[in-house]
Amino acid sequence: MDKFVVKQGKKRTMSGHAKLEEHEAKTADLKPHEKCEGTQGFQLLQVRGDLFSCPESDSLVHCISQDCHMGKGIVVIFKKKFGRVEELKRQGQKPGGVAVLKTEQRYVYYLVTKEKYWQKPTYRSLESSLRAMKAHCVQHQVCRLSMPRIGCGLDRLHWDRVSQTVKDIFSDTDMAITVYTI
């Protein structure tokens, strides 16, 4: 699998290490309000690595069910690292919405893509959740996101279609999104 950066709709190949180093160098000492400066158009970066090794200034994204069960997959790690499940439940988000936790350095976005943990999301619910997250990002000047291949692990959506949806939704922004695969 080639790793690539999409910048304003154009592909350019880079090595995984070079891309990650470039991303980390750009975000290393930035304060939250400075993160968008220097970003020129939408970028989608795909790297191999541990999502939780991303810069602490990047906000994190993943998918959950409305019941906030979080019993399998990467959501278990989010649950252990960030907790506050009752706070997520109190937000009352339904499929197509986004629940948000704020930490000292970043936001953590919980894309609510289905009602029950055992169900599968739809592309429509994922798209709606992404649009809700985009609105929050724009409102709060969030310019850098890190995520796994959302909806494509246990939820079995297809990455080609999901990544195109991400590009379509964020293409009019200056967002830099890094997608981590193991």
Average per-residue pLDDT for the chain: 86
What confidence category does residue 22 fall into, taking pLDDT thresholds of 50, 70 and 90? low
- pLDDT tens for residues 73-109? 999 999 999 999 999 999 999 999 999 999 999 999 9
Tokens standing for residue 80? 């252990």
Is the pLDDT at 42 greater than 80? The verdict is yes
Tell me which residue of 124, 141, 158, 154 sits closest to 59, measured CA to CA.
141
Please report the pLDDT score of residue 182 as a whole number.
Answer: 87
- Mean pLDDT, residues 29-44 taken together: 62
Q: Examine the pLDDT at 36 and tell me if it is beyond 50.
A: yes
What percent of the chain has a predicted confidence (pLDDT) above 90? 77
| Active site positions, annotated | 114, 155
Give the pLDDT score at 83: 97
User: Which whole number is the average pLDDT over 16-40?
Assistant: 49
Of 115, 84, 114, 117, the residue nearest 101 (C-alpha): 84
Give the chain's largest Cα–Cα span: 43
Query: Which tops the pLDDT comparison, 26 or 133?
Result: 133
Specify the pLDDT at position 30.
39
Q: In what order do the strands lie in the sheet with 59-65?
A: 10-13, 4-7, 43-48, 176-181, 144-147, 59-65, 107-114, 97-102
Question: Would you say residue 56 has pLDDT above 90?
Answer: yes
Q: Which domains does the chain have, with CATH numbers?
A: 4-181 (3.40.220.10)
pLDDT, position 159: 98
- With 80 as the cut, is the pLDDT of residue 29 above it? no
Distance CA(37)–CA(140), nearest Å, equals: 14
